[in-house]
Amino acid sequence: QLQLVESGGGLVQAGGSLRLSCAASGRSISNYDMGWLRQAPGKERDFVASISVSGRITHYADSVKGRFTISRDNAKNMVYLQMNNLNPEDTAVYYCAAGSSLVMVAPPYWGQGTQVTVSS
């Protein structure tokens, strides 16, 4: 079974940056497409970004393009989300996910989430 644990969330001012990390255990992430999703209070969970097994293909939600960068290190079993120029609309719980599709619809593996709060 693949376990995912997110870290790196916190409180940041608008315009600031955060780097989220996702540590995987139990299985190698080299078998999975990886992604990040987020859920703001009172809203549904939304796709943020995904990355292919090789790392050569990435997808981003329009709302984060040019500001967020997803990356992975298969040797370390880690996935990252670099978030720059944050704004209050980015406030949400961010989840790391693993699956077999870059679309990240109903991925079979999720972490517990890490809170990101952006103050104006």
Q: What is the pLDDT of residues 44-87, one digit of tens each?
A: 999 999 999 999 999 999 999 999 999 999 999 999 999 999 99
How many other CB atoms sit within 10 Å of the CB of residue 66? 9
Nearest to 18 by CA among 85, 93, 92: 85
3-state secondary structure of 31: helix
3-state secondary structure of 58: strand
Is the pLDDT score of 103 beyond 90?
Answer: no
